[in-house]
Structure 1
Amino acid sequence: MAPLWGSSWSSAWSSLRGYSPVQNGEQSTATSSTVDSSSSHLKPSIGQILMSKRVRYALSAFAILGLFLLAFHNYDRLPSMDTLRGGTAAPVNSHSDCPPAVVPPFQDSQVDWSRYAYTQYVTNAAYLCNSVMIFETLFRLGSKADRVMMYPEKMMDPAETQPSTEEAKLLAKARDQYGVKLVPVSVQRRPGGDSTWAESFTKLLAFNQTQYARVLNVDSDATILQTMDELFLMPSCPVAMPRAYWLFPKDKILSSQLMLVQPSAVEFDRIMKKIESAGSNDYDMEIVNQLYEDSAMILPHRPYDLLTGEFRGDDHRNYLGTDREEWDPVAIFNEAKFLHFSDWPVPKPWIPMSESMRQDKQPKCETKNGQENCASRDLWNSFYADFAQRRSQVCNTNKKARR
């Protein structure tokens, strides 16, 4: 039926205005005994008004218009044709409207930092040392949020006061010197494959730390360059992560090297069910992408996710986000807050690197305006030298670490 616009709408409205209310009480005998057909009509009842075709058309038009506006306003919640064919409508995704990642103005004294925590997961002795190094840095930089370490329950009772093993001594050091809260957990591992990746599911236990309003989980094969407390105050969203900028824009993959999580029983249940059905090549990064690729809040990779391998590259457009900006390694380093060791085929920084590999893989010096610039090379080498020095000091070990 066409809408009642133009003359149709005018005539319908005129017909409604022409009705007057029916009078109650007795009519005079003189006026009720005869009817002048040329000038008088019987006044219709309410039922007759509602049964009028014009009124019904008008009401139908109003109803259709209202349904259209309601559907348009809730378009994103309507079931798709695929879900209708399947007989059930997909649940509404309440995470699809996460606001942009913007840090609001705040004053430290007005924030209850006990509601937030940096989290680390540990699966073996090598990563235990890395984790303690992360917490030592946060302690030294004056981070205000709590620090929580999830570690294999067999390593030590969290209340141990007389640690005997090297692992237990390191856990006690983290607790007593760097204010780390120890949380023993059952390592989430899957048989087969590389043990490091197979045990990386333990990282996702961050979603279960419901004693906090928000946790920031960072990979331990990294260096924190500046505190990142401001991330805890981002707008509400179940999870926030940067994109893997080195794959963007071809692949819009989330990087799980840094995850800002709002722990909840609901999200943890989703995580655990996805792990149970994970494929043979699915690990923590695949899990979070399958669940949150289109719903996560996107954190800027600059300054929150810089790879050491970036300093060895020739094309920096993906990191810079533009082809107009000139690569300035010193400026990039100074603004970065989280530096992740990713330099294949260069080994992780706790694994000895041969001098021949270092010479072969270190960044090349550049010549500009007749002058040689080795800033990228110097910085890159300093990343590995600094890591080795801090590892020796914090973990009190000069032994070769096994991966």
Structure 2
Amino acid sequence: MRVLSKRRLRFLLTVILAISAVTIFVRCVVQFQLNKEIKYYRRYFKDRKDKLEGIYNPLEIKQIPSETIDNLYANSLSRLEEQGKTVDWTKYAYVNYVTDSAYLCNSLIIFDDLKNKYKTKAKLVLLISRDLLDPESSSDIENIKFLLHKIQILDENQVVIKYIENIVKPNDYTPWNESLTKLLVFNETDFDRIIYLDNDAILKDNLDELFFLPHYIKFAAPLTYWFLSEKDMKDAYKEIEHDDKNSINLKTYTKKLDLRIKNNKMIYNHLPSLPNSLFMNSKNVAQEIIHSTSSASPLFNFHINKKAGKTKFASNLMVIRPSAELFNSIITEALPKVLAKKTKYDMDLINEEIYNLKKIIYYQFDIFRRMKSKFQPEVLVLPFARYGLLTGSVRNTQHHDLITNDVLGYKRLDESGQQIEKGLHASIEDSKYIHFSDYPIGKPWNYASISEFECKVDEKHSKNIEQDTEACAQWNSIYDTYLETRKVCSI
């Protein structure tokens, strides 16, 4: 019996080893073939992109420079004018949501600026929690009603106030336990495109140009650039320069993009690509796709690696093409996964379940391989210095080079190949949306005046007093502007 048992055990071990060997062999073969195909299509799009119309590169995540966004907007308005048409602004909306009464004043500030200071004609939509008007759960109802009235009378036709039910994370007592309510913005299907804004921020202009991103784009947002180290950026520049040293210069892209926009030609394949090193865990794209033997891929019968890369989409500003189908998928499939996990919130859901950068590459390539002419990309990366700058980066001098070069992996160089030195003041002047984020300093409405938290140069430990002085001056100016503007909320 013992001999028989040993034979059976050896037989089982042999079978297991054989299956493992076959599995590894198959994975190696598939990875080899996939690498060959990826290499072919990379060359295909590099050599033919000037002649391609209606065929999009599925192997890259594209970034769009602010210069190109402005040019697209101007060209869209010009074409409408030539056709004797005007923009139907009822199709577009800026959206805020409020579940905490402390944030309601901020919505008033942003909507007032958009309407009266920056003259947008798009709808202004506020999603506000019903709980805030419940006498049993709210102690500040009169002030809330006052602020809601001030928001509504900005323009009875332009402002839309909707009452919503919070999405609350059970057994979570952090300040972010209602942040998943933000996901309701994906269901604003009354509009062709919305710009969602966190309201703990300061606006320096309207963002109307973002409504006119290419029509096929369903989602666009800046990236979480603050996670990137100096080494990450050096690796990114090296990756872009690999084939051509001139490829790092952003101007070589914007010049060609300007010409293509003027001639009403497709621009997607000519946009600068996000370096793979900033969102993948290895240099091998095929290896990223073929990660485990989970049966999640109908194409390769392998599972996509969802582990986060160095950077991902921020969720404080998002350009969204609302979809009932996508929203239903979020609520029925993605949301339950996040609700069941501790320390997972809105940005985690968006980046792990909906717009995971690595997963996007996989699905794009999957669709492209099956029906090339039918594939259209859905996402774009926005330049963060204009649309997603953190106040913390203004006073952090190590971020200043990043602020100048906010298309990641590329630099704004002059004709001689030297860095264009804009200076911090000019960079902030170009920024349109600056998010209050200065941990451990609290949000600015928690303070009576800037004297309680103003930036001061530590001359004893400063390595560059002039640079630190400029950074503090710009930082203080941003908060001074907010503290002055919040007077609009006074009775």
Shift of 1:288: 0.8
- Segment drifting more, 377-386 vs 205-214: 377-386
2:143 matched to 1:166? yes
Aligned to 2:401: 317
What amino acid is aligned across from residue 301 of structure 1 in structure 2? F
- Structure 2 letter corresponding to 1:282: K
Specify the alignment match of 2:387 in structure 1.
304
Which residue does the alignment assign to 2:95? 119
Query: What one-letter code is carried by the residue in structure 2 that aligns with 1:120?
Result: N
Pairing partner for 2:342 from 262, 274, 280? 280
Does the Cα contact within 8 Å between 2:62 and 2:381 map onto a contact in 1? no
C-alpha deviation, 1:153, in angstroms: 2.1
Are positions 1:395 and 2:458 aligned together? no
Aligned counterpart in structure 2 of residue 245 of structure 1, from 222, 225, 244:
225
Structure 2 SS opposite 1:107: helix
* CA deviation after TM superposition for structure 1 residue 112, in Å: 1.4
* Per-residue Cα deviation, 1:262-282 (whole angstroms, up to 9, x for no partner): 111111122222111112111
* RMSD of Structure 2 on Structure 1 (CA): 3.4
CA distance in 2, matches of 1:133, 1:364: 33
1:267 to 326, 330, 343: 326
Contact 2:168–2:178, Cα closer than 8 Å, also in 1: yes
Change (3 A) 1:114 1:352: same
Look up the equivalent residue of 1:245 and give its one-letter code: Y
Cα distance in 2 for residues equivalent to 1:325 and 1:185: 47
Alignment of 1:187-266 (within 5 A): 187-235=166-214, 236-248=216-228, 249=232, 251-266=310-325
Q: 1:13 maps to which residue? A: none
Aligned to 2:104: 128
Any idea what SS the aligned residue of 1:246 has? helix
Give the match's secondary structure for 2:169. coil
Paired with 1:262 and 1:287, the residues of 2 have a C-alpha distance of 18
Deviates more, 1:287-296 or 1:261-270: 287-296
Q: CA deviation at 1:214?
A: 0.7
Output the amino acid matched with 2:396.
G
Query: Is contact 2:99–2:132 with CA below 8 Å preserved after alignment?
Result: no
Q: Is the 8 A contact 2:101 2:132 kept in 1?
A: no
How far residue 98 of structure 1 moved from its aligned partner, in angstroms, is: 7.8
Q: Which runs of 5+ in 2 are unaligned?
A: 1-32, 42-56, 135-140, 233-277, 279-309, 361-378, 406-410, 412-417
1:350 counterpart SS class: helix
Shift of 1:194: 4.5
Q: In the TM superposition, what whole-angstrom CA distance separates every residue of 1:220-274 from its partner, at most 9, and x where no partner exists?
A: 1100101110001101222111111112345121111101111111111222221
Q: Bigger shift: 347-356 or 334-343?
A: 347-356
Structure 2 Cα separation of the partners of residues 172 and 181 of structure 1: 12
Please tell me whether residue 144 in structure 1 is matched to residue 121 in structure 2.
yes
- Rate the CA distance shift 1:275–1:357 in 2: closer, same or farther, 3 A: same
Asked whether the 8 Å contact 1:242–1:305 carries over to 2, the reply is yes
Map 1:353-392 onto structure 2 (within 5 A).
358=453, 361-362=455-456, 374-391=469-486
CA 1:127–1:288 in 2, change beyond 3 Å: closer, same or farther?
Answer: same
**Structure whose residues are more often helix by fraction:** 2
Q: Percent identity?
A: 31
Scaled by the length of structure 2, what TM-score is found? 0.55
Letter of the structure 2 residue corresponding to residue 152 of structure 1: S
Deviation per CA, 1:156-191: give whole Å up to 9, x if none.
59xxxxxx7221121121011254210111011113
Shift of residue 376, structure 1, vs aligned partner: 2.4
Q: Tell me, yes or no, if the aligned pair for 2:395 and 2:468 is still in contact at 8 Å.
A: no
In structure 2, how many angstroms separate the alpha carbons of the residues matched to 1:98 and 1:317?
A: 23
Cα distance change of structure 1 residues 358 and 72 upon mapping to structure 2, 3 Å threshold = closer
Shift of 1:99: 6.5
Deviation at 1:351, TM superposition (A): 1.0
How many correspondences in the alignment? 302
Code of the residue aligned with 2:488 in structure 1: it is V
The change in CA–CA distance for 1:96 and 1:284 in structure 2 (over 3 A counts) is farther
1:8 aligns with none
Evaluate the alpha carbon distance shift between residue 345 and residue 100 of structure 1 in structure 2; reply closer, same or farther with a 3 A threshold.
closer
Residue aligning to 1:350: 445
Q: Quick one: which amino acid aligns to residue 261 of structure 1?
A: I
**Aligned-partner residue type, residue 336 of structure 2:** E
Q: Does residue 335 of structure 1 match 2:430?
A: yes
Give the TM-score normalised by the residue count of structure 1.
0.67
The letter of the residue matching 1:238 is K
Q: String of CA shifts for 1:193-217, please: whole Å, max 9, x gaps.
A: 3543111111111100000011110
Tell me, yes or no, if the aligned pair for 2:100 and 2:132 is still in contact at 8 Å.
no
Structure 1 window deviating more from structure 2 (96-105 vs 326-335): it is 96-105
User: Equivalents in 1 of 2:391, 2:194: separation in Å?
Assistant: 25
Partner of 2:292: none
Decide whether the 8 Å contact of 1:95 with 1:238 is kept in 2.
Answer: no
